[in-house]
Structure 1
Amino acid sequence: MSETESRPAPSQLRRLPWSEDGKSAYLSTGDGASFLARMADTMEEGMLTTAEVDMTRALSVADEVSASRAELKMAVRFLAHAVADAVEVARLRGERLGVDPEAKETAEFLRRTLTR
């Protein structure tokens, strides 16, 4: 068997919500819902739960009239962390959906337009 025959096709790889030595980790999805796939699902759910907690904490600080500048800066960091986690989970799940190229192009156009 050649090297290319033994490796799964890219569409059969799932990027995991953690890295190994700073590089993305992948799981071959050919064998269904493995223990590792369930672990990744659990980690993604944990990331979203933590993002919700961070968001709630940041909103609480923002609503506090006597919040100091340092507390407000920390609230912004909580929000940034929450957004980063939510975006990462959205990307991971989007990769598994196999979004068509036209949809990706539209999303990229919107991202560029909205972040100007």
Structure 2
Amino acid sequence: MTEMMPAARLRRLPWTEDGKPAYLVTGEGGSFLAEMADAMEEGMLTTAEVDAERADTLADDVRASRAELKMAVRYLARAVADAVEVARLRGERLGIDPEALEVGKTLRRDLGA
């Protein structure tokens, strides 16, 4: 009786190597590297949440300086970029249908998002 090997897949990691995407060959079960990537993604989302809360608080502060508000915008821009990257990474792992991606692009364009 022959045992079936689980299908190996490539997982893009949330970091780069020499400016190029880094990948992990995955199969059944987890690995230390996969767990490290999961933790990094979670950290990116947690940081984004904290930055959003901080910016919201700062926006309500009438004493906030222009420099503080400008810095908050920069942190928010980074937080949004990180959250989008995590969403893309997780979408790749889910194997989202390319047609669904095109529909999403069209909707974002039409809604001005």
The root-mean-square deviation of aligned C-alpha atoms, in Å, is: 1.7
Give yes or no for contact 1:51–1:85 (8 Å, CA) kept in 2. Answer: yes
* Residue 35 of structure 1, CA deviation: 0.7
1:1-39 alpha-carbon deviations (Å, 9 max, x no partner): xxxxxxxx8x81000000000000000012531110011
| Alignment-derived partner of residue 34 in structure 1 | 31
* Residue 71 of structure 1, CA deviation: 0.9
Structure 2 CA distance for aligned equivalents of residues 92 and 38 of structure 1: 14
Q: Note the residue ranges of structure 2 that are not aligned, 5 or more in a row.
A: 1-6
The number of residue pairs the alignment matches comes to: 107
Query: TM-score, with normalisation over the residues of structure 1?
Result: 0.85
Give yes or no for contact 1:13–1:29 (8 Å, CA) kept in 2. Answer: yes
* Residue 75 of structure 1, CA deviation: 1.1
Q: How does 1:55-70 map to 2 (within 5 A)?
A: 55-70=52-67
Among 12, 16, 26, the residue aligned to 2:13: 16
**Aligned AA for 1:58?**
A
Question: Percent of aligned positions with the same letter in both sequences?
Answer: 75
Query: TM-score, with normalisation over the residues of structure 2?
Result: 0.87
SS in 1 for 2:29: coil
Q: Note the residue ranges of structure 1 that are not aligned, 5 or more in a row.
A: 1-8
| Alignment-derived partner of residue 4 in structure 1 | none
| Alignment-derived partner of residue 108 in structure 1 | 105
